[in-house]
Amino acid sequence: MTPTHVTLVEVGPRDGLQNEAQPVAAADKIELIHRLQAAGCREIEVTSFVSPKWVPQMADNAAVLGGIQRQAGVRYSVLVPNMKGLEAALSAPRSHWPHEVVVFGAASEAFSQKNINCSIEDSIERFRPVVASAHEAGLKVRGAVSCALGCPYQGEVPLDEVERVVRLMRGIGVDHVGIADTIGTGTPRRAQAALERALKHYPLPEVSGHFHDTYGQALANIHASLALGVHVYDTSIAGLGGCPYARGATGNVATEDVVYMLQGMGIDTGHDLAALVDAGAHISRVLGRPPASRAGKALLMRHAQEAA
Ligand code: HMG
Ligand code: MG
């Protein structure tokens, strides 16, 4: 059942950078995206079209999306919470459109209110026209289910609630669903249980895992999810990130760590690990701190020792 190929969706430029307190220049974000595609990333979440009052770091969304020198075979996606976001993402010439948009809901009522300022039911009604319009424009729609393994405000989140949101997303035509551990509290059995609920409503290729690594469980959660055959995961270069509405949560699992583990298991992702490590080191220098990726740090040290 373990897959032989895994698709990684690189979310560093969006999930990774959205929480940075200091402004990061659009040119630095674009440079990161160029390095990521050169390192073999074929799916990149590049920015989000959300309110700049809520998430100032993503206010340069149009400049970033429009500034990328696109590489053939790479798919670019953006987050959109509502029609205003979709319209903004599609206001550029077609050559600058994303290939995919991501709507983001939550399995926790409290988190839905904090993150997108509406109830779960209302969020689905906001997403409905987004999905229809995105499909009319020829774009695929992914849906993220935040707090599927736990909520920073409400704690435990019943699996039935996770399944309810998955079913609602399926009902409005969302093409692909991502089970998200927003605060990284989840452990492998719970990750499997949440994914199993998603798999009741979506075919295997249209289900993914999005695991933040706050409690150091993300690699274990991916390993457990692979056993179910799940073969799409969101990862973040250098382990960057967090969510502005999930205080204390760290970044997504580091892309370098996941690629290192999968290569060791003989599972192909199409990445050049050395180039990824360099991309992680580069953005970490821009941000003024070491990469959070364990494999990234170890490989950088090894290369420095070999060069000495
Ligand atoms: P609201 O205040 O309820 O929206 O925010 P509103 O419709 O009442 O509009 C209020 C103002 O926002 C208006 O401007 C709108 O024009 C503007 P004003 O008249 O006051 O000047 N506005 C917008 N501006 C730009 N782009 C838009 C947009 N929509 C309204 N799309 C809203 C609702 C959803 C907009 C707000 O709550 C928001 O932007 N939230 C963003 C939250 C966010 O980005 N969170 C992080 C990403 S999610 C995440 O990280 C989780 C994930 O990684 C998975 C996981 O780990 O769980 C995906
Ligand atoms: Mg996230």
| Binding site membership of 112 for ligand 1 (Cβ less than 6 Å) | no
Rounded-to-integer distance, Cα 188 and Cα 179, Å = 13
| Binding site membership of 245 for ligand 1 (Cβ less than 6 Å) | yes
Asked if 243 is an active-site residue, the reply is yes
- Ligand 1, residues 51, 80, 133: which to mutate, most atoms within 8 A of Cβ? 51
Q: How far is the CA of 182 from the centre of ligand 2 (A)?
A: 5
Q: Is the Cβ–Cβ distance between 235 and 258 less than 8 Å?
A: yes
| Binding site membership of 89 for ligand 1 (Cβ less than 6 Å) | no
Predicted local confidence at residue 158, as pLDDT: 98
Predicted local confidence at residue 11, as pLDDT: 98
Q: How far is the CA of 88 from the centre of ligand 1 (A)?
A: 13
Beta partners for residue 48, in sequence order: 79
- Which ligand 1 atom minimizes the distance to the CA of 210? 56
Q: How far is the CA of 305 from the centre of ligand 2 (A)?
A: 34
| Binding site membership of 9 for ligand 1 (Cβ less than 6 Å) | no
| Binding site membership of 235 for ligand 1 (Cβ less than 6 Å) | no
- Ligand 1, residues 20, 50, 151, 210: which to mutate, most atoms within 8 A of Cβ? 50
Q: Is the Cβ–Cβ distance between 86 and 112 less than 8 Å?
A: no
Rounded-to-integer distance, Cα 73 and Cα 241, Å = 26
| Binding site membership of 249 for ligand 1 (Cβ less than 6 Å) | no
The one catalytic residue in 41, 147, 151, 243 is 243
Q: Which ligand is nearest to the CA of 101?
A: 1
Predicted local confidence at residue 96, as pLDDT: 97
With a cut of 70, which residues of the chain have pLDDT below it?
A: 242
- Residue ranges of the domains in the chain? 7-307
Among positive and negative, which fits the CA dihedral 228, 229, 234, 239?
A: positive
| Binding site membership of 210 for ligand 1 (Cβ less than 6 Å) | yes
Nearest Cα residue to atom 40 of ligand 1: 116
DSSP line for the chain: ---SB-EEEE-IIIIITTT-SS---HHHHHHHHHHHHHTT--EEEEEE-S-TTT-GGGTTHHHHHHH----TT-EEEEE-SSHHHHHHHTSS-GGG--SEEEEEEESSHHHHHHHHSS-HHHHHHHHHHHHHHHHHTT-EEEEEEETSS-BTTTB---HHHHHHHHHHHHHTT-SEEEEEETTS---HHHHHHHHHHHHTTS-GGGEEEEEB-TTS-HHHHHHHHHTTT--EEEEBGGG----TTSTT---BPBHHHHHHHHHHTT-B----HHHHHHHHHHHHHHHTS--S-HHHHHHHHHHHHHH-
Architecture of the CATH domain 7-307? Alpha-Beta Barrel (3.20)
